[in-house]
Amino acid sequence: MTVLVAPDSFGDTLTAVAAAECIAAGWLAARAADTVLLAPQSDGGPGFVEVLASRFGTVRTTRVCGPLGAGVDARWLLDTGPHVATAYLESAQCCGLHQLGGAPTPRTALAAGTEGLGELIAAALAAGARRLVIGLGGSATSDGGAGLIGALGGPGAARELLADTEIVVASDVENPLLGPLGAASVFGPQKGADPATVTEIEDRLTSWSRVLAEIAGRDVGELPGAGAAGGLGAALLALGGHRVSGATVVAQATGQAEVLAAADLVITGEGKFDSQTLRGKVVAALTSAAIGRGVPAVVFAGQVVLAADEIADAGITGAYAIVDRAGSVELAMSDAAAQLTGLATDVAARWSAPGEQDRDSRTGPGGWE
């Protein structure tokens, strides 16, 4: 049997690459005769560069300003051929939540800035890149990209600097910049903002949106993806960027369609398998593609929040949680690699035969729920 292992990252505990390696090792421990194909995925958030770097390009590291001002080492990818030199940048490398040094608060929600991404763009241009693919997601910021544009010399200078550069905004977030579905209202609380802070951020972004409109010559705030990464999407769109699905960028780079065609089983995964997953995240896109081909799809996750009937209605063969195997959230996170490897072994050992469902699908080995 040929098994495609294509997870997203598991939050802050495992990168997509590490998760794929754990699942593959665990599966082969129980089913050594199977062929396992690894194709870790990302939607443009944390792990975007690492996933792509496993396939092509040269990884570079640049010291830039972190979300709260301290310097951070941001990894990015330069691909020099055969066509235009392309730099793949990840906003989370410059201004990610994980770089706050602690839990997000109202103070950090207001203070976190995007200057580092502007510095990273400048470094990529200096290295010869004329096409930028920028993954958005996992940011601590809600400044609408004001820091980025400031780091590039201001609105006029930034627009001129990037005039001959293609900017690809890689994000699966479709939210606008403002309003009840905008950056402040939807994502602000995830970044530590309390209700009063959400209102303050919304007011700040409203004022900033007028500057972005002057840069672009039109209102970009209503465009899909403008609210991504605390409004970074709006700034990049104003500078001439166009949005594409981050998951699609990675799927194409990893040859997902080709390996999916050869698979008898698809295993994907993420940190938390919940209702948001089914609204277009990497896991949903991959399981849907597998199901469309008549290939069973299995999900591994740190936690499985969806009910059994929701999983069944989505056509997914089985969903298995690390926390159920570990017995506690604390152990599931502190020992994530070993627990995920063991979980994959448990599921593989119970897999009946190529093309057949796990005997305990949707509840997990041993009748977990």
Quote the pLDDT of residue 367.
28
Contact 114, 148 (CB under 8 A): yes
78-87, 89-98, 229-238: least confident range: 78-87
Q: Would you mind telling me the total number of residues written for the chain in this entry?
A: 369
- Looking at the structure, give the CATH architecture of the domain made up of residues 48-247: Alpha-Beta Complex (3.90)
| Distance (Å, whole) CA 117 – CA 228 | 14
Quote the pLDDT of residue 363.
38
Of 189 and 366, the structure prediction assigns the larger pLDDT to 189
pLDDT in tens, 162-212: 999 999 999 988 999 999 999 999 999 999 999 999 999 999 999 999 999
Q: Residue 347 has which token pair? A: 């599921």
Quote the pLDDT of residue 217.
95
Contact 89, 49 (CB under 8 A): yes
Q: Residue 70 has which token pair? A: 């301290």
Helix axes 246-253, 282-292, angle to 10 degrees: 60
Containing 151, the helix (H) or strand (E) segment is helix 146-151
Of 298 and 281, the structure prediction assigns the larger pLDDT to 298
Q: Where are the beta strands (DSSP E) in 212-335?
A: 242-244, 265-273, 297-304, 318-321
Q: Residue 264 has which token pair? A: 């008898």
Q: How confident is the model at residue 280 (pLDDT cuts 50, 70, 90)?
A: low
Quote the pLDDT of residue 279.
66
Q: Which CATH superfamily is domain 2-41+260-367 in?
A: Glycerate kinase; domain 1 (3.40.50.10350)
Peptide bond into 224 cis (omega under 30): no
| Distance (Å, whole) CA 286 – CA 288 | 5
Distances (CA, A) of 338 to 13, 26, 42, 232, 325: 12, 9, 22, 36, 11
Query: Domain extents for the chain?
Result: 2-41+260-367, 48-247
Whether pLDDT at 369 is above 50: no
| Distance (Å, whole) CA 271 – CA 171 | 18
Of 278 and 367, the structure prediction assigns the larger pLDDT to 278
| Distance (Å, whole) CA 296 – CA 286 | 11
Distances (CA, A) of 247 to 100, 251, 366: 26, 6, 33
Q: Residue 277 has which token pair? A: 């997953």
pLDDT in tens, 232-247: 999 999 999 999 999 8
Nearest to 300 by CA among 40, 98, 51: 40
